[in-house]
Amino acid sequence: MRIAISGGIGSGKSTVARLLAERTGYEYVSGGVFFRQKARELGMTIEEFNEYAESHPEIDMELDSDLLSFLRRSDDFVIESRLVGWLCYRNGIDALKIFLEASRETRARRLASRERQSYQEAFSDLVRREESELRRYRHLYGIDYMDSSFYDLVIDTENLSPEEVVNEVFSRLSKGYRC
C-alpha cells in the first residue's frame, strides 16, 4: 500500500508520516528532504530557494519527476510532500491520499518551535514560503496545492497530537474507508 501525505507548511506531514511508517512497518520517504538538500547545495535558505525556484521551473520539474518515478516503482511506503497527493491523483497512482490541515497560526507556532525562532518570524516565513509555493505551483501546474478536494482523507490537525492523527487514520481505515 502507498500512503501519500500532503498539507501546508507545519501541518504535521513529516511527524505523522514517520509515525504511520513506524506503525505499518512501511518505508518512510520525505519529499521535503530532497528540496532542503538542493537548497543547501546552492547555499540558500528554504525561503531563498523557494524564491529562486519561482524563476527556475526546472528545479520543481526535476524534483517532481524523481518523486513520480519513485511512486511508480515502489510500494509499501509512507511518503510526505507538498505535491505527492496531487501527483498520485493526476497520474492515476493508487495510493491512500491524506491531506493534513491546520490554521496558519497553529502552523506558525509549530514552525517556530521546530526552527527555534520567534512566532512572528515563523509566521512571516510561513506566509512568504506559502505564497511563493502557491505562485510556483499555479504557474507550473495550474493548481492550488492547498486544495484538498481530491484527497481520500482530510484531517484537521489543529487540536490533535500526531499520535491522535495516526489513530484517526487507522480508525477510518478500520471502518472500511478505502482509497
Binding residues: 7-15
Say how far apart CA 141 and CA 125 lie, in whole Å.
24
Amino acid found at 132? S
Question: DSSP strand E in the chain: where?
Answer: 2-7, 27-30, 77-80, 96-101, 153-156
Q: Which residues define the annotated binding site for ATP?
A: 7-15
Q: How many CA atoms lie within 13 A of 19 on its CB side?
A: 15
As given in the structure block, the three cell numbers for residue 150 are 481530491
DSSP H or E stretch at residue 38: helix 31-41
Cα-based angle 92, 4, 6 (whole degrees, multiple of 5)? 110
CB atoms inside a 10 Å sphere around CB 114? 12
